[in-house]
């Protein structure tokens, strides 16, 4: 008679469970998205992202120090400009808010943590789209690529170790790589939002950056359709072929199949973006006492690592680092 299998033996104590855990999550595995606002003299709370603010330059520096002290792996900067225009010129202005913030953070921290900059025009355009518009109101893909290249160079010049194009324009990675290399920034890393879906989970983020798409429009003509799976592989392959060093899946929890697919198919490092709506839902339920917010956040972020993410971009970065260090 064969002995009864008893896999529960390995779950008996916390020490045993830790010893045989297949997946780990450490503070260095998370990156914090941060918002910095131009011309603000005090941080401004983001109501739908509890615990997060539109930073001043001074409060941004304080927050980065706190993240660094807790071992968080990096930061990703988003800008909130004081003024906007049709072509999003603040994105590639050397005195634009993100470039000013990048220089400040780089001067203090150097390469002690990974300094990333989101690369898009939507925060800076008066119409809220990720590129310049044609006369008919559609985004002009090719005209936008030139501005993405200019933005990448401005961000690299200001100190970004990683630029992260999020606009989902065809050919954006190749155009950015060409622009960076032409200016001598051959070591600047490109993290492409390769599988970025047109999701309903971005609402709190749009409050955070003050973006409203003109005339009730949306981005479904250039972000991916959430009903589709195979095209994520096509997008990721194109980005890697064009020179992406890291690829991303966004959102995270509702796209675990995409994350697992790309982990099997692509050798490049893989990031999962646990987005604003995912964060806000946990916070709202925890506030009502319906769930243990820290436990759910830890479970979800670990699940992203289990599905194949090398690191996670998350609004929980500081909190989860404190939980892991406790």
In whole angstroms, give the CA distance from residue 282 to residue 292: 9
Q: Determine the pLDDT at residue 278.
A: 97
Q: Determine the pLDDT at residue 215.
A: 56
Q: What percentage of the chain reaches a pLDDT higher than 90?
A: 77
Q: Determine the pLDDT at residue 232.
A: 94
| Residue 68: band (very low, low, confident or very high) from pLDDT cuts 50, 70, 90 | very high
Segment 167-192 mean pLDDT: 95
Exactly one of 250, 283, 305, 318 is catalytic; name it: 250
Active site residue 84: no
CATH H superfamily, domain 24-191+198-214+225-245: Aldolase class I (3.20.20.70)
Q: How many residues does the chain have?
A: 326
Q: Determine the pLDDT at residue 268.
A: 96
Q: Determine the pLDDT at residue 309.
A: 98
Q: Determine the pLDDT at residue 137.
A: 80
H or E stretch covering 53: strand 53-55
Residues with Cβ within 8 Å of 266's Cβ and at least 6 positions away in sequence, in order, are 233, 236, 237, 240, 247
φ, ψ dihedrals at 44, nearest 5° = -120, 125
| Residue 9: band (very low, low, confident or very high) from pLDDT cuts 50, 70, 90 | confident
Segment 88-97 mean pLDDT: 93
| Residue 271: band (very low, low, confident or very high) from pLDDT cuts 50, 70, 90 | very high
Segment 141-156 mean pLDDT: 95
Residue tagged 């893989």 (tokens): 270
- Residue 282 vs residues 50, 60, 125, 172, 256: alpha-carbon distances, Å: 11, 24, 31, 33, 18
Q: Determine the pLDDT at residue 174.
A: 97
Exactly one of 52, 55, 129, 196 is catalytic; name it: 196
pLDDT in tens, 109-136: 999 999 999 999 888 898 878 888 888 8
Q: Determine the pLDDT at residue 164.
A: 96
What residues are paired with 125 via a beta bridge? 85
Q: What is the DSSP string of 161-227?
A: SEEEE-S--TTHHHHHHHHHHHTT-TT-EEEEEEEEB--GGGHHHHHHHT---GGG--STTTSBPTT
Higher-pLDDT residue of 203 and 30 is 30
Q: Determine the pLDDT at residue 112.
A: 94
Whether the Cβ atoms of residue 244 and residue 250 lie closer than 8 Å to each other: no
Q: Which two tokens stand for residue 30?
A: 């998370």
Q: To the nearest whole number, what is the mean pLDDT of the chain?
A: 93
Q: Determine the pLDDT at residue 1.
A: 59
Residue 324 has pLDDT above 70, yes or no: yes
Segment 101-106 mean pLDDT: 98
pLDDT in tens, 210-269: 767 665 556 667 788 999 999 999 999 999 999 999 999 999 999 999 999 999 999 999
Half-sphere exposure of 91 (CA within 13 A, CB side): 35
Q: Is 100 helix (H, G, I), strand (E, B) or coil?
A: helix
What residues are paired with 14 via a beta bridge? none
């Amino acid at each position: 008679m064969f002995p009864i299998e008893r896999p529960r033996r390995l779950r008996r104590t916390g020490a045993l469970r830790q010893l045989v855990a297949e997946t780990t999550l450490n503070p260095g595995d998370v990156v914090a998205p941060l918002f910095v606002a131009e011309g603000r003299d005090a941080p401004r709370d983001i109501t739908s992202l509890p615990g997060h603010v539109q930073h001043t330059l001074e409060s941004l520096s304080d927050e980065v120090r706190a993240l660094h002290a807790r071992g968080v792996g990096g930061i990703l900067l988003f800008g909130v400009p004081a003024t906007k225009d049709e072509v999003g010129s603040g994105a590639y202005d050397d005195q634009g808010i993100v470039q000013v913030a990048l220089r400040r953070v780089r001067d203090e921290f150097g390469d002690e943590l990974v300094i990333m900059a989101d690369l898009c025009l939507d925060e800076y355009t008066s119409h809220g789209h990720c590129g310049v518009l044609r006369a008919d109101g559609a985004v002009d893909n090719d005209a936008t690529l030139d501005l993405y290249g200019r933005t990448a160079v401005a961000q690299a010049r200001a100190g970004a170790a990683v630029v992260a194009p999020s606009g989902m324009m065809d050919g954006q990675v190749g155009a950015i790589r060409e622009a960076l290399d032409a200016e001598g920034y051959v070591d600047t890393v490109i993290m492409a939002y390769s599988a970025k879906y047109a999701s309903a989970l971005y609402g709190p983020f749009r409050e955070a950056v003050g973006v409203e798409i003109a005339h009730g429009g949306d981005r479904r003509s250039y972000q991916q359709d959430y009903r589709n799976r195979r095209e994520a592989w096509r997008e990721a392959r194109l980005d890697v072929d064009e020179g992406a060093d890291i690829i991303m899946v966004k959102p995270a929890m509702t796209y675990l199949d995409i994350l697992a697919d790309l982990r099997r198919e692509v050798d490049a490092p893989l990031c999962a973006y646990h987005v604003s709506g995912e964060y806000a839902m946990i916070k709202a339920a925890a506030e009502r006492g319906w769930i243990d917010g820290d436990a759910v956040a830890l479970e979800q972020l670990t699940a992203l690592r289990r599905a194949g993410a090398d690191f996670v971009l998350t609004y929980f970065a500081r909190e989860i680092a404190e939980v892991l260090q406790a």
